[in-house]
Structure 1
Amino acid sequence: MASVSSNEHTKEKYSFVYGDEAVSYHVIRKAFPGGKARKIAIRVHPDGEIIVTAPDDAGYSDIHEAVMKRAKWILDAIVEFRSHQKYVQTRHYVSGEMQFYLGRRYVLKVIEEKGAAASVKMNRGKLLVSLPRFDSKKTSLVKGLVNDWYKYRAECIFQERLQYLLPQATWVKGIPGFRILPMQKQWGSCSARGALMLNPHLIKAPKECIDYVILHELCHIAEHNHSERFWRLLTQVMPHWKEVKSRLDSMAELYLNE
């Protein structure tokens, strides 16, 4: 799900039929700098949306042919994501709900006590949220406190992992800046100037998955698209990245669920 940022134009909507199922997909046109690989890339997001990134002058027949060649893979991905969604329930931010942090599950416990300071802390397998009052806004208060806690922890851990991984990314000069940005369909992105954006929900995943996303984006500093050189570079710094990515994707619906 990690991806490089790009100048996206209006999405074009098309569809295809595979077996008994009609599938819609969106095409985003992209201008490729001279000498860069001009490939048609297909991505299936956890919510089932299919995005096809194609050169700005690619013909519809070429795009459709590329999609049909991967039709079975697309349907398999959709079916897999649908199976994950069966276990995703709307969060109400009440005691007993499950929260994630660094790949581990924690039970949310909300404590309301008059005069208490609003706070979030972890203790013995629980994520404890203290509230200073009882009122009808409890759900939004707990959600806000939990999200702020995730963002704070994300800033700390992402900085720590970035510092740890930078020696492997020998092509990166200096320390790239990064900021935390909630995203619905991406774990991270990299600007043309080499600034990273990382999703705070990523802090719910194991450190190895966090490392994968950071390394993915660091590779984009050297190669701004998913060319063969990009994948070789990523394999060089994380040989088992496919397994790690699969692990992260398999939990995406749960980690991104608010």
Structure 2
Amino acid sequence: MPKINLNGKQVQYEVSVRRVRYVRIYMTPEGKLWIVSPTKKVEQFLKEKEDWILSKLQKIEKAKQLSGFPYLGKFYSVKNGKKFEISGEGITLPSEEKLEKTLRKELKILITPIVHDKSEYLGVKPKKIFIRKQKTRWGSCSPRGNLNFNLAMLALPLELIDYLVTHETAHLIEMNHSKRFWKLVSHFHPDWRRKRRELKEWWIIIHNNSIWKQILEGER
């Protein structure tokens, strides 16, 4: 895998050569740099994106330094036990299979009344609510009117969970991200731009947390 020196830091990257007009750059939550380009000669492009790349890597390194298990926005010290339990600053986690079942149940209980509250206000009615382990997004709304939420939402502070539920419920009215859509969302969350930025930070944290990674990468 090729490397490039960016301000004294050796950064690995991978190039996918495709028939595209413009070079596109992606950074995975784990820190893998991936470029889609019409040519393999991307060094100059990476130099131009140096600040962006180093900023992303800095956030990832910071996330890797965090310890404990993030749950509802708080980090808990972990110990193993027979059942899921929070006591002070500590959290007891059962075996992986039992833990996932417990977390699914916890999230469903938590978000269901929020979905109903937002749906009632917006005058919509979702068909079903699903809890999934999604690789690339926090949630989605299907054309059939089903709402899908990422199990990893349980790591987030409650205000961000409320925002995500609002976001997907609003898609029952507007399936795109039009001005009307954001107007619906901003009624509940006028600071939605800030929350979207925070969600990007949390996405990095979760995908660099060993326990959450193990849960999310297990069989779906």
Residue in structure 2 matched with residue 226 of structure 1 by the alignment: 177
Q: Which amino acid aligns with 2:153?
A: L
Are residues 143 and 252 of structure 1, via their aligned partners in 2, closer, same or farther at CA, if it must alter by over 3 Å? same
Partner of 1:162: 115
Using the alignment, how far apart are the partners of 1:222 and 1:49 within structure 2? 36
* Aligned counterparts of 2:190 and 2:183: Cα–Cα separation in 1: 9
1:122 counterpart residue number? 86
1:121 deviation in Å?
1.3
The equivalent of 1:108 in structure 2 is: 78
Secondary structure of 2:62's partner?
coil
Which has the higher relative contact order, 1 or 2, with Cα contacts under 8 A spaced 6 or more apart?
1
Structure 2: segments with no counterpart, 5+ residues: 1-17, 35-47, 214-220
The verdict on how the C-alpha distance between 1:177 and 1:79 changes in structure 2, with shifts beyond 3 A counting, is farther
2:126–2:146 CA contact under 8 A, matched in 1: no
Q: CA RMSD in A?
A: 3.4
Q: Deviations over 1:97-131 (max 9, x none)?
A: 510111111111124xxxxxx3221112211135x
In structure 1, the residue matched to 2:5 is none
5+ residue gaps, structure 1, are: 1-11, 18-22, 26-43, 51-71, 92-96, 112-117, 131-141
Shift of 1:220: 1.3
Displacement after TM superposition at 1:188 (Å)? 0.1
More helix by share: 2
Decide whether the 8 Å contact of 1:109 with 1:128 is kept in 2. Answer: yes
- 1:218 and 1:123, CA in 2 relative to 1: closer, same or farther beyond 3 A? same
Q: Which residue of 2 aligns with 1:195?
A: 146
Q: Is the partner of 1:86 in helix, strand or coil?
A: helix
Give the whole-Å Cα distance in 2 for the aligned partners of 1:80 and 1:168. Answer: 40
* Displacement after TM superposition at 1:168 (Å): 3.2
Instruction: Tell me the equivalent position of 2:97.
Output: 144
Which residue pairs with 1:6 in the alignment?
none
1:87 aligns with 2:62: yes
Q: Structure 2 length as normaliser, TM-score? A: 0.68
CA contact (8 A) 1:180 1:197 kept: yes
Q: Which whole-Å CA distance do the structure 2 matches of 1:235 and 1:45 have between them?
A: 29
Relative to the length of structure 1, the TM-score reads 0.59
Deviations 1:192-247 (A, max 9, x none): 12110000100110111011111111121111112222222222332111111212
Q: Is the 8 A contact 2:132 2:151 kept in 1?
A: yes
What's the offset of the Cα at 1:82? 2.4
- Aligned pairs (5 A) from 1:10-49: 14=20, 16=22, 23-24=24-25, 46=29
1:243 maps to 2:194: yes
Distance (whole Å) between structure 1 residues aligned to residue 33 and residue 148 of structure 2: 22
Amino acid at match of 1:183: Q
